[in-house]
């Protein structure tokens, strides 16, 4: 069998082999970040070509899980050899496994060098038959019988879970060796209308082989817009804005709006008055003098900007009467960071048509998270914890969690409250920017980028590789280095901003 070195084929060449029903085989040793991204990019290109791009998030998670399991198996064998432990002896196996879980990054790097010298490789095979896609991962370290038995047991246990909520509860109770990757893999296959039997692990001729077979003819991908009954009912039950906010909206929608009348209504609400004056004086609007009156604040912000602030403020009033907002400090902090970054990005790229609403769009982009957290705070906290600890995309978990999807939830409420289309689009598509209409592309692309940059624990190179190609082209990020320079610039400005203000 012929195996290509990584990076030898372009995505176009890979797709041509794929469409010709030829095996696309790659071989590597280290499976470093760039190599993993190349393989994931090849998978995405092939799925996009056959109109199955919506499967990518599912299959990409499983693919990476299988690749990294093969990598760990090879490193584990090097580790046992380095310590002169007999992996076939139960006592020495248990002793070795305890230490293996705590290997330092420096030692891991050393072992990756050794595994290459010992010719411990990882091979990937992507193949499109007439009616199915087959992904096969091989590594030339044969899995132990007891390890294979353990995996089969985890697969069997995973089939018991009907929802990811049940799986998360079990994992939180027993985090050691819980097999979350296998559980999520099985749940993903169920979400695709499959049984879970399409995922196999076996040994053959000194190799461990992991294989995933996806029959294209029976894929019944459930729509992202599916929302569970509890969330649907919650959206129906959430009330409209308070009377004075509704009155303000009516006045602002009047073509012959009277600013003095609007100012008088705002002045009756001290909290709203403070919010508007605070925004007018904020660094992002760069006012040349201190604003102290509502009228002057409106002149700085503009009528459209004021309308959007009213949407944000009305949302806050409704939510603080309905939910325990003290449990959502991280959501609000993130939202304000995204708002600041969004305006910064819009100004940097001279997107003047977004100036008067992009800040508020950033504040409101996670509207759905507030609702979901408000009605089921423990579940959402557990989801966020697991995503952070295990490096799993929250998009994946949300789509497996009883239809919970914070973008769709937020967009439905925004439409109920008759938010402007730009704000609705920013809420609905900030994880899937390519799904939005061209009319709202400026807003959605900015929010999408700001949202990724705001997660400061994610390295800039990782963010760069996660960005959709169309977004990279839109912002003219032609190289990773160019993006890293931009990332550092806006990130540094965010840190300076956070030091100068108190985020509530």
Q: Which residues fall within 8 angstroms of residue 487, CB to CB, at 6 or more apart?
A: 453, 460, 463, 464
Q: For residue 42, give both structure tokens.
A: 């090849």
Q: CB-side exposure of 81: number of CA atoms within 13 Å?
A: 12
Q: What's the pLDDT score for residue 189?
A: 81
| pTM for this entry | 0.67
Q: Which CATH class is domain 229-500?
A: mainly alpha
Contact predicate 42/126, CB 8 Å: yes
By three-state DSSP, how is residue 169 classified? helix
Instruction: Specify whether the CB–CB gap between 284 and 496 falls below 8 A.
Output: no
Per-residue pLDDT reduced to its tens digit, 180-238: 778 778 877 877 767 677 888 888 899 999 999 887 755 444 444 455 677 788 888 99
Domain positions in the chain: 4-218, 229-500
Among 57, 31, 30, 27, residue whose Cα is nearest residue 44: 57
Bin 56: left if φ > 0, else alpha if -120 < ψ < 50, else beta: alpha
Output the pLDDT for position 135. Answer: 94
Task: Provide the token pair at 228.
Answer: 């569970």
> Quick one: DSSP state of residue 354?
G
| Strand (E) or helix (H) holding 147 | helix 145-158
Predicted confidence at residue 451, as pLDDT, reads 92
Q: What is the pLDDT of residue 224?
A: 45
DSSP run (H or E) holding 58: helix 56-82
CATH fold of 4-218, please? Heat Shock Protein 90 (3.30.565)
Q: Which residues of the chain have pLDDT under 70?
A: 1, 159-179, 193, 195, 217-228, 283-288, 379-380, 386, 388-404, 457, 500-504
Which pLDDT value is given to residue 117? 92
């Amino acid at each position: 069998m012929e195996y290509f070195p990584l990076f030898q084929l372009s995505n176009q060449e890979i797709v041509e082999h794929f469409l010709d029903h030829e095996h696309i085989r790659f071989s590597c040793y280290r499976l470093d970040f760039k190599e993993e991204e190349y393989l994931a990019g090849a998978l995405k290109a092939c799925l996009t070509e056959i109109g199955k791009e919506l499967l990518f998030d599912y299959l990409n998670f499983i693919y990476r899980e299988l690749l990294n399991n093969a990598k760990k198996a090879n490193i584990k064998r090097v580790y046992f050899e380095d310590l002169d432990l007999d992996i076939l002896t139960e006592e020495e196996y248990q002793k070795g496994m305890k230490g293996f879980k705590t290997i330092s990054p420096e030692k891991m790097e050393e072992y990756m060098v050794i595994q290459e010298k010992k010719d411990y490789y990882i091979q990937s095979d992507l193949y499109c038959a007439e009616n199915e896609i087959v992904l096969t991962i091989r590594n030339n370290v044969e899995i132990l019988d007891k390890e294979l038995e353990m995996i089969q047991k985890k697969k069997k246990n995973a089939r018991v879970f009907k929802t990811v909520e049940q799986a998360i509860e079990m994992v939180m109770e027993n985090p050691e060796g819980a097999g979350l990757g296998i559980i999520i893999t099985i749940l993903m296959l169920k979400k695709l209308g499959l049984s879970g039997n399409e995922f196999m692990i076996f040994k053959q001729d000194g190799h461990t082989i992991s294989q995933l077979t996806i029959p294209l003819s029976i894929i019944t991908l459930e729509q992202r817009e599916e929302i569970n009954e509890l969330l649907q009912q919650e959206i129906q039950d959430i009330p409209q804005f308070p009377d004075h906010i509704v009155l303000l909206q009516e006045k602002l929608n009047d073509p012959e709006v009277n600013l003095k009348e609007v100012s008088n209504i705002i002045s009756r609400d001290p909290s709203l008055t403070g919010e508007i004056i605070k925004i007018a004086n904020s660094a992002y609007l760069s006012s040349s003098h201190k604003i102290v009156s509502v009228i002057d604040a409106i002149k700085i912000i503009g009528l459209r900007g004021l309308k959007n602030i009213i949407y944000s403020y009305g949302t806050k009033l409704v939510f603080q009467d309905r939910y325990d907002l003290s449990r959502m400090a991280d959501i609000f902090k993130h939202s304000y960071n995204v708002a600041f970054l969004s305006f910064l990005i819009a100004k940097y790229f001279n997107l003047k048509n977004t100036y008067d609403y992009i800040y508020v769009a950033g504040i409101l982009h996670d509207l759905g998270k507030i609702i979901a957290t408000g009605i089921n705070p423990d579940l959402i906290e557990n989801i966020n914890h697991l995503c952070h600890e295990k490096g799993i995309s929250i998009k994946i978990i949300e789509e497996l969690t009883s239809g919970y999807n914070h973008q769709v939830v937020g967009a439905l409420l925004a439409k109920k409250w008759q938010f402007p289309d730009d704000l609705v689009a920013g809420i609905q598509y900030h994880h899937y920017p390519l799904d939005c209409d061209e009319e709202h592309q400026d807003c959605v692309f900015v929010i999408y980028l700001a949202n990724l940059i705001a997660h400061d624990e994610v390295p800039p190179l990782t963010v760069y590789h996660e960005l959709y190609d169309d977004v990279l082209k839109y912002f003219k990020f032609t190289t990773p280095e160019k993006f890293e320079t931009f990332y550092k610039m806006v990130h540094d400005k965010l840190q300076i901003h956070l030091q100068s203000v108190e985020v509530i």
